[in-house]
Amino acid sequence: MIFPTIEFAAFFAVVLTLSWLLMPYPRWWKPTILAASYLFYGYADARFVLLLVASTLFNQAAAVALHRLRDRRILVVAIVGDLGLLGWFKYYGFFALSVDQALHGLGLPAPLPLLQVALPIGISFFTFQAISYVVDVHRGVTAPAPLLDFAVYEAFFPHLVAGPIVRASEFLPQLTTPRDPRRVPLYRAVLLILGGLVKKVVLADLIATRLVDPVFAVPAQHSSAEILVAVYGYAVQIYCDFSAYSDIAIGLALLLGFRFPDNFDRPYVAHSLQEFWRRWHMTLSRWLRDHIYLPLGGSRAGRRRTHLNLMITMVLGGLWHGASWTFVLWGALHGAALALERHLRARQRGPAEHLVTIPLPRQDASVPAATAVGRGVPASLPGYVVVPAREPTREPTRGPAPRSRLRTWIARLAVFHFVCATWVLFRAPDLSTAGQVFARLVTAPGPAPLVTPAVLAAIFTGLATAAVPRSWWVVLRCRLAHLALGPQIVLLTTTSMIIYHVVGAQAVSPFIYFRF
């Protein structure tokens, strides 16, 4: 069931009504919302509901056992079980085919049968949430929830299929007491949903059907101009498509009385790749940081190990997106670029920047001391934090300011174009197609009939939505709230009619992240 459809609108209207009618009665609300979530997930294929139920029971049993026995081996079994389930459905075919091709080149028979395994929608997202829950129980961040609460957390339909990846410690406390309808931020929810529908239906799908899909399907038949605009177009399409799903999911959750973390924050204005990953798919970035990068040692074990940790994290992040060598290479390029960026920053700081200790204020004495980095500095100093020493602040002058802004914009353009170039690997079905796209980009002059004014307008509008500061949306929300009821109804009805007119004129394609 896809958000921008009449079927989902009818489904959500019924669920929203039942949810608020039953909210004062948790013993009835929880089974009802769980049943609605299973209905939503099983709309395409009811068999996969059993997989979701099995994942819930397995991880709940692991969490309870971990809490009681405090045995790390239980955590290992739980993670291996979750990754094994994900690996079977998502990676078996890729692994078996890769082994078969490698052995075929050596003239050896394939040791593994080539099977076509159907990929359950959203398995990567609910598996990561389950792992996060078990790990948090092991770390003592959260206690095991009642089975029904954990089942609602893992299956809650607004974020079930494509995120955001909500942590148990963020969601489960919201189940302890009934939601208060008077505290629902109605205007924020409505703007998120309508804005998400516009980004998906009006922008992303138009760019995809009229430009990106034809170009990437047969790049050899298109000119350099079409391919160049298609590369930019896909950068806009994937942002509008995925951020639209996140916005709609957050808005739906708000209408039901629940708050999700934000998932995007103007990623294309980032002036470093590190900043980009702090702004793009933020819930996945923090999951990779907390469950892969930091357990590997983070930046605590020296420069080379830090670079290796970045590479491992990003390669695994690429592989999480799909079972293909294009995703592996995409992750590797981002990992290498992050390591290079970190190396260059370290060189710019130079040897003059040392570590010093600064005492914490008394009221912060309970805060753990930061880990010291560098030679000759203790691993921790009670009551102290370790920070880089800075040169004394100089009086600002008028000269360097324009240069600083210029460098910022140059950095933004460099990061944006690196991201756009690597999106080619993300979009291309295989490495051969990606190679054709890059080759045709500079070797195929000619007309560009697919680059129409409508497509260009959609691309520029999508880029504008990715650059608008949050404060503008706050102002818009406040102005909408201060309108009289009549103009509000007219404005929202008109926007909805435009969206569903577009929906009726073309088939709504599944969200890009449905296949992850």
Q: Is the pLDDT of residue 280 over 90?
A: yes
Q: Are 253 and 292 contained in the same domain?
A: yes
Q: Is residue 368 part of a domain?
A: no
Least confident of 113-122, 187-196, 420-429, 459-468: 113-122
Asked if residue 166 and residue 227 are part of one domain, the reply reads no
pLDDT at 283 > cutoff 80: yes
Q: What is the pLDDT of residue 125?
A: 87
Residue 383 inside a domain? The answer is no
Q: Is residue 5 part of a domain?
A: no
What is the mean predicted confidence (pLDDT) over 335-348?
A: 89
The SS3 assignment for 427 reads helix
Binned at pLDDT 50, 70 and 90, residue 161 comes out as confident
Q: What is the per-residue pLDDT for 104?
A: 59
3-state secondary structure of 358: strand
Tell me which of 339 and 182 has the higher pLDDT. 339
Q: Which residues share a beta bridge with 356? A: 387
- Kindly state whether residues 271 and 149 are assigned to the same domain: no
Are 341 and 476 within one domain? yes
Beta bridge partners of 384: 359
- Mean residue pLDDT of the chain comes to 81
Residue 169 and residue 208 share a domain: no
What's the pLDDT tens digit per position in 433-444?
999 999 999 888
Residue 390 included in any domain:
no
Strand partners, 386: 357
Highest mean pLDDT pick, 110-114, 121-125, 416-420 = 416-420
Predicted confidence at residue 92, as pLDDT, reads 58
The residues carrying an active-site annotation are: 321
| Res 218: pLDDT | 92
Residue 515's pLDDT band (boundaries 50, 70, 90)?
A: low
Mean pLDDT of 100-114: 58
Are residue 195 and residue 158 in the same domain, yes or no? no
Could you list the residue range(s) of the whole structural domain that residue 47 is in? 24-178
Reported as a single tens digit per residue, the pLDDT across 130-146 is 999 999 999 988 899 99
Domain boundary at 178, 205, 222, which? 178
Residues 263 and 225 in one domain: yes
**Is residue 6 situated within a structural domain?**
no
- pLDDT tens, position by position, 244-259: 999 999 999 999 999 9
- For helices 47-69 and 26-41, the axis angle rounded to 10 degrees is 130
- Residue 5: predicted pLDDT: 78
Amino acid at 339: A
Token look-up 């930019």 returns 232
What's the total number of domains in the chain?
2
Which of 163, 139, 97, 19 lies closest to 514 in space, CA to CA?
Answer: 163
Amino acid in position 336: A
Residues sharing a CB contact under 8 Å with residue 274, sequence separation 6 or more, in sequence order = 338, 341, 342
Residue 124 pLDDT: 85
pLDDT(397) > 50: no
Confidence of residue 370 (pLDDT cuts 50, 70, 90): very low
pLDDT score recorded for residue 132: 93
Kindly tell me if the per-residue pLDDT of 96 is higher than 60: no
Residues 331 and 451 in one domain: yes
DSSP notation for 122-152: THHHHHHHHHHHHHHHHHTSSPPPPHHHHHH
Question: Cα–Cα distance between 445 and 222 in angstroms, integer?
Answer: 9
Q: Are residues 32 and 152 in the same domain?
A: yes
> Does residue 295 fall inside a structural domain?
yes
The answer to whether position 3 is within a domain reads no
Bridge-based pairing of strands 384-388 and 355-359 is antiparallel
* 173 and 209 inside one domain: no
Q: How far is CA 258 from CA 17, 19, 162, 166, 237, in A?
A: 15, 12, 17, 11, 28
Distances (CA, A) of 226 to 238, 432, 438, 458: 18, 19, 12, 15
- Those residues with Cβ within 8 angstroms of residue 253's Cβ, 6 or more apart along the chain or in another chain: 156, 158, 159, 259, 260
Residues 140 and 194 both lie in one domain: no
For residues 318 and 430, state if they share a domain: yes
* Domain finish residue from 126, 145, 178: 178
- Determine the pLDDT at residue 483: 66
Report whether 310 contacts 338 (CB < 8 A).
yes
pLDDT confidence of residue 387: 39
Last residue of a domain, one of 178, 202, 236: 178
Does 421 reside within a domain?
A: yes
DSSP state of 277: H
Q: Is the pLDDT of residue 169 over 80?
A: yes
In the chain, pLDDT over 90 holds for what percent of residues? Answer: 47
475 pLDDT above the threshold of 60: yes
Calculate mean pLDDT across residues 419-428: 94
Q: Smallest Cα–Cα separation from 175: which of 154, 201, 149?
A: 149
Q: What is the pLDDT of residues 37-52, one digit of tens each?
A: 999 988 877 888 998 9
